[in-house]
Amino acid sequence: MGLRINDTAPDFTAETTKGTISFHDWIGDGWAVLFSHPKNFTPVCTTELGTMAGYAPEFAKRGVKIIGISVDPVESHAKWKADIKVATGFDVDYPLIGDKALEVAKLYDMLPAEAGDSSEGRTPADNATVRSVYVIGPDKKIKLVLTYPMTTGRNFDEILRAIDSMQLTAKHQVATPANWKNGEDVIITPAVSNEDAEKRFGSFETVLPYLRKTKQPGA
């Protein structure tokens, strides 16, 4: 059975472009995004890693560390950075895990168990399921899982939007509606009574008995 939301993110030790890390220790007391790509020196992956580098300050503002992974060796990651800079204009300064024995990819259910035990000779098609995103909270629990097909580059605005929602709802008894963006109205959860909602949020709108909206706390 694959990993699910609220499972503890598997810990591991791995070589990265920033040296050896122990994953849970590296995360520390904050949030983290672990995102994988099928193979270095491929077009969609090149745009993704450069885009993530450009978004690094936005993740940092939210107290979120970012780390990439593929089944390529660390030496290949280091060489690829120059191409990413040419293509996107951004330097990749976040760590990239070299998972050439496929250990982390299998640990996170990115590849089937029968995928072998080495990245030698693997094509992007062999790594087709490895375009995943895991958002992990300070409690080391998995908060979000996204997996994309080979031909579809990820929308990192959506990942930031989801993190904004999760960090907000972790502090307040609210949820966020479809297409919500930071600063917009939120939903009061059913666990909060009307009386308690008035104390917590002041005024609110009752759309339906089970759907109440209010201003975003702190906005």
Which pair of structure tokens corresponds to residue 145?
């899982």
- Indicate whether 2 pLDDT > 90: no
Which pair of structure tokens corresponds to residue 211?
């759907």
What's the pLDDT score for residue 1?
Answer: 57
- Indicate whether 214 pLDDT > 80: yes
* Confidence (pTM): 0.94
CB 59 within 8 A of CB 158: no
Which pair of structure tokens corresponds to residue 160?
């930031």
Q: How far apart are CA 35 and CA 131, in angstroms?
A: 7
Annotated catalytic residue, options 27, 45, 84, 104: 45
What's the pLDDT score for residue 44?
Answer: 96
Task: List the beta bridge partners of residue 15.
Answer: 20
What's the pLDDT score for residue 218?
Answer: 86
- Indicate whether 112 pLDDT > 90: no
- Residue 128: partners with Cβ closer than 8 Å, 6 or more residues away: 38, 149, 150
- Indicate whether 114 pLDDT > 90: no
Tell me the pairing of strands 142-147 and 211-214: unpaired
- Indicate whether 156 pLDDT > 60: yes
Query: What pLDDT, in 10s, does the model give residues 37-82?
Result: 999 999 999 999 999 999 999 999 999 999 999 999 999 999 999 9
What's the pLDDT score for residue 132?
Answer: 95
Q: All domains of the chain, ordered by start, with CATH? A: 13-153 (3.40.30.10), 172-214 (3.30.1020.10)
45 has catalytic annotation: yes
What's the pLDDT score for residue 109?
Answer: 92
Determine the 3-state secondary structure of 127 from DSSP: helix
What's the pLDDT score for residue 202?
Answer: 92
Q: How far apart are CA 143 and CA 8, in angstroms?
A: 10
Query: What pLDDT, in 10s, does the model give residues 73-107?
Result: 999 999 999 999 999 999 999 999 999 999 999 99
